[in-house]
Structure formats: C-alpha cells, structure tokens
Amino acid sequence: MIMRVQQVVMATMVVTIVVFGPKRAEAAAPRAFFVFGDSLVDSGNNNYLPTTARADSRPYGIDYPTHRPTGRFSNGFNLPDIISQRIGSEPTLPYLSPELNGPKLLVGANFASAGIGILNDTGVQFVRILRMYEQFELFEEYQERLSAEVGSERAKKIVNGALVLITLGGNDFVNNYFVTPFSPRSRQFTVSQFSRYLISEYSKILQRLYELGARRVLVSGTGPLGCVPSQLASKSTNGDCVPELQQAAQIYNPLLVQMTKDLNSQVGSDVFVAVNAFIMNMDFITKPQTFGFVTSKVACCGQGRYNGIGTCTSLSNLCPNRDIYAFWDAFHPTQRALGFIVDAIFSGTNDVMSPMNLTTVMALDSNI
C-alpha cells in the first residue's frame, strides 16, 4: 500500500513537472535583450578598454543604486536599463564584464562602446573602442557561449526571440564630420552626401544584424545634435540650437526611416523599428518646464558655458538635484530625461515609432 501511494505521488509529481514545469519556466523567462551602439547605450564595456571615452569616475553614477560610477554615461540608469526594467528583465551586463557567465547569458548582453559610429574612422581620437564589426564579432562569440550553455537550438530561439536596440550615428557627425571646421569627411562630402553614405553603411550593419539572428530591432536615429550643451558651448552665440547640426540630423533621420522601411520590405517582415530620438528629445528641450526641468541648455555636470566644455569629472560643477536638469553632461541626458524618451518608445505614435511602438511590439511578440 505504502509503496503504491508513493508511486502515485511520484507519478503525479512527474506529470506535474512535465505538464507545468517547462511551460512555467519559459513563461517566466523574459525575452533576451541585446544592445549595440555608442555611449547612449554603453553600460560599461569601455571600462575594460584602454580608451579616453569612459564614465568610470565620480560623479557618474551618483544616482545609481550603488551611487558609484558604472561606465554608464548617466547620473543613474541609462536607456537600456530603463527598457529592461519596463519589459520586466534584469539589466543586461556589458559583454566584457567578467560577471556575464552561466545563466546570466540568457538575459542578453550589451556590446555597445562609447565613442563609436557607423564608420570605422569615427571616434579614432578615443583610441581603443569596439567598432561595429567588433561588436558583431563579440555577438558571434556570445552565441557560441550561449549554445554551450543551453544547446544550439534553444540558443537560436533565444536570439531570434530577443529584443534588440541599436543606437548609432551621432558620433559620425559630432566626433567626425563636424569635429573640426575642415575635417577630412567634411572636405570629402556635403552634409547631404555624407548622410546618404552613412545610411548606406548603416543598412549593411542592420543586414548583418539580421544575418546574426536579430528579428526585432529598435533602430535609433540621432538626437538634436545642435542642442546638446557641448555644441551650445562651442558653436552657439545666443544659446539657440546650432543650425548646421540640427539640419544634419533632420537630413539624416528621415533617410534612416526610409532605409528601415526598405529593409523590412526586403525581409518581408517588420523587423526594424525606427525610433525618432530627434522629436523625443526636442519635446523636453523646447518645453523643459512642462517636464519639470529648470533648463535644457545647461548640463548638470561640467564647466564653462552651459557646463558644456570638456568632460564631467570630480572637479566639475555639479547640480544638487539631477531631476530638474535635462542634460547630465555635455552630451547625455539625465536618467529622468531618458525616462521620458522610454515613455515615447513604448507609447509613441507612428510619427516617432515607425512602424509601431514598443507596446505594440511586445504584444505582437508575446505569443512567440
């Protein structure tokens, strides 16, 4: 009798595990998240590289839970962190972090590197950074490691089912074309020609990402390059956004939307979603008070005009309340401003999220 009860109990447990075990585990595992691009999304890869483009000293990270610098170009969380929080995932670790091992690989990985651009000659002044082709080499290496962890079939599913974010292009203008008045690229191309060249190279990058298994990719355009404190400090006489940089962003961004549309029709699916970071940033730059900011011109951390000269260091001016500033340093928004950008990524209409916002993407993909 006792034996039989035990057998029944055992059998019931086996059935329960078979029926509910794996299903529950799959349902509970949020989709993986992969991040590529520049300083807007680098979560600390550059900490591991001999580069000058780094955010690993105070006061970076002052509002992060640990109150310590992490390599994020923010006072606290950065854009990928806030997206991870809102999709219910852990933050993705920088790929170069030694902590990215074992089950952590299933969360995804961040390959971004501050200072890089679409072109290999962008950011040469920062010495050793992970250019796009290197980020992709590491993504291939990641997939091998993930396969070793969970098997190649499951690894492929995780990659195909993942959400991907890529942010590129700002540095190609600010740290390449416009870096000096007579930069090599500006002598080679007009802004319009240069934008077209960037888009054709960006298209190749996205096609490579597709080949590597990405099936849902948020592709961010450039923000209002002429409105960042760095450009106000160096090129604006009266605090108005610098027209030549604003015009460049306004030539480049529509080309990017068209390019993602072309790629989607090529692959026959809405793989690429264009994020209009220009409009999203302009909302709080033109009406800072509406968003609870005292200014959108002066950076919280920095020195000189608009706190926009040089980099943010422990010797810089530092605002006491980061929540009332739109810009944290000369180039990067504060954590609170990034929250407004993520709001728009989730709930924006077709003019800022093309062809659809992230709420719609998550709903569509929930039955994968």
Ligand X SMILES: *[C@@H]1O[C@H](CO)[C@@H](O)[C@H](O)[C@H]1NC(C)=O
Interface residue list for ligand X (CB under 6 A): 119-120, 133, 201, 347, 349-350, 356-357, 359-360
Nearer to ligand X, 119 or 158 (CB): 119
Nearer to ligand X, 120 or 258 (CB): 120
Catalytic residue among 81, 113, 236, 332: 332
CB 79 within 8 A of CB 342: yes
Catalytic residue among 89, 270, 329, 354: 329
Nearer to ligand X, 199 or 232 (CB): 199
Nearer to ligand X, 250 or 360 (CB): 360
Q: Is 232 exposed, middle or buried (0-12, 13-18, 19+ CB in 10 A)?
A: buried
* Structure token pair of residue 120: 């290999």
Cα dist from 214 to 93, 163, 193, whole Å = 18, 8, 29
CB of 348 to ligand X, least distance (A): 7
Active site (annotated) includes residue 329? yes
Q: Is 19 exposed, middle or buried (0-12, 13-18, 19+ CB in 10 A)?
A: exposed
CB of 174 to ligand X, least distance (A): 18
Distance CA 252, CA 274 (A): 12
CB of 285 to ligand X, least distance (A): 22
State the DSSP string of 339-360. HHHHHHHHH--TTTEES--HHH
Active site (annotated) includes residue 67? no
Distance CA 104, CA 95 (A): 11
Cα dist from 91 to 75, 100, 110, 365, whole Å = 16, 11, 9, 20
CB 299 within 8 A of CB 318: no
Nearer to ligand X, 120 or 193 (CB): 120
Catalytic site residues? 39, 329, 332
